[in-house]
Structure 1
Amino acid sequence: MSIPEMQPVSSSNIAAVGYDPDTENAYVEFLDGSTYAYKGVPEYEFNNLLTAASVGSYLNRSFKNVYPYERL
């Protein structure tokens, strides 16, 4: 699994995010260095994450317990 180019975000917990439209996987790199892949995420949902007022809150509300994920 190759990670796409990551975009830095302004967040107290998240360093960067990326998206692979071919697999519909969203990638989230946390400030502690861990990276997670969220699977089956529609591109519009990833764009909502990028533009959210709080990236961390949006991730908790709209990704966790919605899309399957794994730590890489």
Structure 2
Amino acid sequence: MYLCVLPIIAGIADYFENIGIIVMLNSYPDITETTVSTTNMFSIIKSVSTSVFFISLILILILVAIKFLKKSMSTT
């Protein structure tokens, strides 16, 4: 159930990352360290949540496939 929240978190973090990049581009010579750190944090949150989601998805699909194969072998 909690895995369903990860893509939503990644999407929200992506929007905030994009907003931070736009802010940095619009204020180019006067970029603050806070803006850079915040944008970097959202980028890391996006990357980690996306990676965790896809790794979990692959593991769940492998477990479902193993369960299906065991079930089909036992009925044969």
TM-score normalised by the shorter chain: which range applies?
under 0.3
More helix by share: 2
More strand by share: 1
Q: Determine which structure has greater relative contact order: mean sequence separation of CA pairs < 8 Å that are 6+ residues apart, divided by chain length.
A: 2
TM-score normalized by the length of structure 2: 0.25
